[in-house]
Chain A
């Protein structure tokens, strides 16, 4: 599954970052294979999603979250 389908307050481990022009942007922010993410907040009407990644909270749109291939924990 991909991170846009992660239920709220659930955690997962990133398996892979899918190919896209944004791949590098995600990786330089620290979205890397093996890292743990937790979905903390979702804005209304399928708005952005806020993930906890290590010591920071990062907001992504659904389309960008869909680039993270994850394994539910």
Chain B
């Protein structure tokens, strides 16, 4: 390892935290750094880079939270990051010290990774976490023996009860880390003379690091192409079996660890694990699923009940802000852009925060208690035939509230193909934004009647739309399963951790961070699209637009009462929208949407509601110049019911058209925020574009079939 040249006064020391999954690593990170966390990206992968600052006794330290991993063998993107950072391949992310967290109950598994870190020659300290649980399990770890065997500082903590955190801070502050030469002899599993070239090429002094680069360098896309090509040529020329070397390394490592464990771990008595008894119910083939369904029901109930209050509030505040701006500032293009483009655009981002925060709050609780891996266990078999993974259940279920947190939750899926399929199908679940559209249209054409004594027809219609979404998910996932190709093998190896009470501070920090990520990462795209839509909806051929405005002003002057003025204004804004660029586009697509039963006015609403589905309702209100409160369903419903098609003489919103529209909204990607988050999660425009095209095509064909059958 190169010597440290930077002074702590100039730049804070970097400490990386690493550990197996579920060892309480993130809790320690959260406790050390609080809300001072920044989430960024590592180049070439979709893994979040979590960095936070720790202030202690006047000094500042930069803490990097690395993804949980069992070894330095990079199988998933998470592990590639751990591999890259700990092999010190990236100058920017090179840590000065490494703090490894070990679950006291899983000592040998933790020591596997720890011994690899020792072999890399890192400045290391170990934290034996959950020492309280070890005591409960009548396990005793002889700390001094372990220190003698490994040669690096060891600390006992119980981070859940925040005991020992002060010690961790002190340890970092005292820089109480140390390097030990070797845990294994590298030439026991590979001829070290072969590694000489690599050490020169990459400027390394450590054999194990050179071996790691030889074995895994090809997998790290963060490595420059020239170097990867060099490694490839090197492997080809050496003609050695690196895979068997890796197996040999694994065996030797575990053999030594087992020897150490025998000296270090004292087991007082064999006792039954209490989680197992609880699991008899939670993993029960019948009750297990019933319980899962009830938990989901409670969560959705809570989201619908709690999120609507702040959402309505946000909606109101931004609407008032827009009105206020347009009255206070002088009339003009900039005012209009601010009041009708930027402010509603930001409002459209902020409005998602309650749902995202709440959903991730619940997910964090389920994760933290250990329940989530049980859900993966229960659902895996049901997901697999559709090319999905047990872990896909979380994004899909979240999709019923909102696709955005759903897509964000898909990153836990390790397998690339399963992750992409999950992201591609999650927006087909009927989210809460579709609800206003469904409700208006169902109210128009489905009678509010009860059949067989208790079945409400409107409720049946609503339920059918949700089911249609689920069918769309399964059908599409199945299709993608056969189209997408990958060399990665799908597998499920998941730990079912002991049940624990959630740590509320962690839950809050998760809610905060997820919301922040959404606003900062997806917000830009959403704002850009809102402004484009505003331009298209406000501007049109100038002569025509001026004419309408002049006519409006003239009429207002002649008007006798406030009511008349209201009506004139409503009519004028309808005319303006019809003649804007969006209006022109709406007319242009009319031939394409006529077979679905839509006129050009509905076409306009389809275009504007690309911003978000619920905009359909307000656009329809504007375009049919429905004055008054656009939130009031009954006014809209009456007006829509009265619309007559001038050509056919039929109602515009007849049964066939309304159902065709409902089906269209079940499948169509009418949500720029989802588009933005898919862009963020897949790191490019390829997948969001494919998704938009296929969802629109699916919506079009299904709506066409619906209309043709019903009309």
B381 adjacent to A46 (CB under 8 Å): yes
B381 adjacent to A43 (CB under 8 Å): yes
B380 adjacent to A43 (CB under 8 Å): yes
Partner of A59, one of B75, B246, B492: B492
A13 at interface by CB-CB < 8 Å: no
Chain B residues near A29 (CB-CB < 8 A) = 70, 109, 493, 495
B492 adjacent to A43 (CB under 8 Å): no
Partner of B496, one of A23, A32, A57: A57
Give the interface centre of A28, A29, A41, A54 by most chain B CB atoms within 10 Å. Answer: A28
Partner of A48, one of B276, B492, B495: B492
Interface flags, B618-633, vs A, CB<8A=1, else 0: 0000000000000000
Q: How many residues of A contact B (CB 8 A)?
A: 31
A52 at interface by CB-CB < 8 Å: yes
B71 adjacent to A64 (CB under 8 Å): no
Partner of A41, one of B73, B139, B283: B283
Cα(A60)–Cα(B490), bound, Å: 12
- B139 CB to closest chain A CB, in angstroms? 8
Interface flags, B376-393, vs A, CB<8A=1, else 0: 111011000000001000
Cα(A26)–Cα(B112), bound, Å: 13
A50 adjacent to B493 (CB under 8 Å): no
B247 adjacent to A23 (CB under 8 Å): yes
B163 at interface by CB-CB < 8 Å: no
B489 adjacent to A41 (CB under 8 Å): no
- B665 CB to closest chain A CB, in angstroms? 34
Cα(A26)–Cα(B276), bound, Å: 22
Cα(A72)–Cα(B276), bound, Å: 21
Q: Which residue of B lies closest to A47 (CB)?
A: B381
Interface residues of A in 24-73 (CB under 8 A from B): 24-30, 32, 40-41, 43-48, 50, 52, 54-61, 63-64
Interface residue SS majority, chain A: mixed
Count, A-B residue pairs, CB within 8 A: 105
Q: How many residues of B contact A (CB 8 A)?
A: 38
Q: Which residue of A lies closest to B139 (CB)?
A: A55
With A57-B276, A59-B494, A59-B496 as contacts: A24 and B246 at CB distance below 8 Å: yes
Q: Which residue of A lies closest to B71 (CB)?
A: A28
Interface residues of B in 486-513 (CB under 8 A from A): 489, 491-497
Chain A residues near B112 (CB-CB < 8 A) = 28
Interface flags, A1-34, vs B, CB<8A=1, else 0: 0000000000000000000011111111110100
B466 at interface by CB-CB < 8 Å: no
Cα(A28)–Cα(B495), bound, Å: 13
Cα(A34)–Cα(B380), bound, Å: 29
Q: Which residue of A lies closest to B70 (CB)?
A: A28
B493 adjacent to A27 (CB under 8 Å): no
B105 adjacent to A24 (CB under 8 Å): no
Interface residues of B in 268-290 (CB under 8 A from A): 273, 275-276, 279-280, 283, 285
With A22-B491, A27-B254, A44-B381 as contacts: A54 and B108 at CB distance below 8 Å: yes
Interface residues of B in 96-132 (CB under 8 A from A): 105-106, 108-109, 112
B173 at interface by CB-CB < 8 Å: no
Interface flags, B299-339, vs A, CB<8A=1, else 0: 00000000000000000000000000000000000000000
B275 adjacent to A61 (CB under 8 Å): no
Q: Which residue of B lies closest to A32 (CB)?
A: B254
Partner of A40, one of B71, B279, B497: B279
**Can you pick out 9 interface pairs between chain A and chain B where the beta carbons lie within 8 Å of each other?**
A24-B73, A25-B493, A27-B254, A41-B283, A44-B381, A55-B106, A55-B137, A56-B495, A63-B491
Closest 5 CB pairs of A and B: A47-B381, A57-B496, A55-B105, A44-B285, A28-B71
Chain B residues close to A by CB (< 8 Å): 70-71, 73, 75, 105-106, 108-109, 112, 137, 139, 246-247, 250-251, 254, 273, 275-276, 279-280, 283, 285, 373, 376-378, 380-381, 390, 489, 491-497
